[in-house]
Amino acid sequence: MTPKEVIKLAEKNNAVMFDVKFLDLPGIWQHCSFPVSELSEDIFQDGLGFDGSSIRGWKAINNSDMLIIPDPTTAIMDPFTKYPTLSLVANIADPITMEKYSRDPRNVAMKAEAYLKSTGIADTCYFGPEAEFFVFDDIRYQSDESGAFYQVDSVEAQWNTGREEDPNLGYKPRYKEGYFPVPPTDTLMDIRSEMAMVMQESGIDVEAHHHEVATAGQGEIDMRFSPLLKMADNLMLFKYIIRNVAKKHNKTATFMPKPVWNDNGSGMHVHQSLWKAGKPLFAGDKYGGLSEMGLHYIGGILKHARALAALVAPTTNSYKRLVPGFEAPVNLAYSSRNRSAAIRIPMYSTSPKAKRIELRFPDPSCNPYLAFAAMMMAGLDGVQNKIDPGQPLDKDIYGLTPEELSEIPALPGSLDESLDALEADQDFLLKGDVFTQDVIDVWLSYKRENEVAELRLRPHPYEFTMYYDI
């Protein structure tokens, strides 16, 4: 869509406002709205001024003037506003030099796509994330000097089988048995259908939706694969739609990886493949129907997996999900069909176009622009250096002996460890100036100071159970 076509879209839908969205460094959409009278072709080149000092991970207050430059190809009508509002995703630029801002996550994704083409290896990297989420009926939490607690609740939660509900109708998914039940056990079918329909109306291709494994409202909606930047845009819109449809029904949605103890967490398995001139490059006659390039791509991801974790599983809560012996794969191996491996080669279809790899340890708390770019850069490093992924693991990892398991490398056990791994292994991200040293350094310092250190300072409620009488 061109700027002229964007203006026509606004006119056709009687828009009275236009809204511009962009990302902070951790990965949450920010926005600013303007009267539609301010919408002109010029803003798509000259941008709109704003203060970048209040955005997490961005400019200092003495160097804060920045520009929002809307991308006309992202234009849609916002499906939730009371007054007709045109929505645009934007890039961020310096007002003096007009150069794209290095800490803008969308800029990192754009540079990643440009770098891929410059290598001559491929011209497109397709991504297909499967972002899981919970829809709760109530969430309360507090943390201050007097104490801390959280409380989640859902009408379909197994812990509510004995609650007075005037009447309690049962049909609550048992722990770890929430995968694919029909209504009335699946209470959220219509809400997920509404989410999927709004997504389709907003330009996202939806393939399926279903209840997920956990009790208490876990779900999944699958999007059709798209190129890196487009899919990162789609994932942000996907989260926006899920949260707002849930709110419309007086419910609340979260993409937190582990909001419920002792049941499955929310992961984001990420399917990915390289293509060139419209042809898939991962199909071949090697293991799992992969090409040599596909295996080398796996080799790159496995080599850099511990560093990747800091970007694709980037919260302290991520490591409540990534625990040995539970559902999330922490052991760094690959396999066809075996879902206990960190990388799976899906075998649903024999079509070369369907040949891809599936990385299983990311989660939806990530910033998708940074996460997708980092995964591709790791895979490309494997292709460029012909990194051998080693032998596949077709056994059930959870059934291995301790001796066998000790030979398989594992993911970090905490965000702190993954940040240390990223600090030690980052050269693959710096190729082509995709990630700058500044972006990596700011990411490390932000996560350490604002998340790792803050959590470390606070007593945990369960510590009172363990230690109060010590």
**Residues designated catalytic:** 51, 130, 132, 212, 220, 269, 339, 358, 360
Residues with Cβ within 8 Å of residue 199, at least 6 apart in sequence: 206, 221, 223, 237, 238, 241
Burial of 449 (0-12, 13-18, 19+ CB in 10 A): exposed
Whole-angstrom Cα distance, residue 378 to residue 298? 9
- 414 Cβ neighbours under 8 A, 6+ residues apart: 316, 319
Residue 138: φ, ψ to 5°: -160, 145
Parallel/antiparallel/unpaired status of strands 85-93 and 17-23:
parallel
Give Rg (Cα) of the chain.
Answer: 23
Please state, as a whole number, how many other Cβ atoms lie within 10 Å of the Cβ of residue 131. Answer: 25
Could you tell me which of 55, 13, 9 has the C-alpha nearest to residue 32? 55
Beta strand segments in 293-399, E: 334-336, 343-345, 357-359
Q: Do 90 and 97 meet the contact criterion of CB atoms below 8 Å apart?
A: no
Helix (H, G, I), strand (E, B) or coil at 274: strand
- Residue 13 has phi, psi (to 5 degrees) of -100, 10
In angstroms, the CA 78 to CA 10 distance is: 11
Calculated CA dihedral for residues 226, 228, 230, 235, nearest 10 degrees: 90
Chain centroid offset of residue 240 CA: 13
Please report, for residues 77, 130, 308, 345, the alpha-carbon distance to residue 362 in angstroms, rounded to integers and kept in the order given: 30, 10, 9, 16
Task: Measure the CA–CA gap between 249 and 252, rounded to whole angstroms.
Answer: 9
Q: What residues does 279 pair with on adjacent strands?
A: 276
Q: 232 exposed, middle or buried (CB, 10 Å; 0-12, 13-18, 19+)?
A: buried
Q: Is-contact 112 376, C-beta < 8 A? A: yes
The neighbour count for residue 423, using CB atoms within 10 Å, is 14
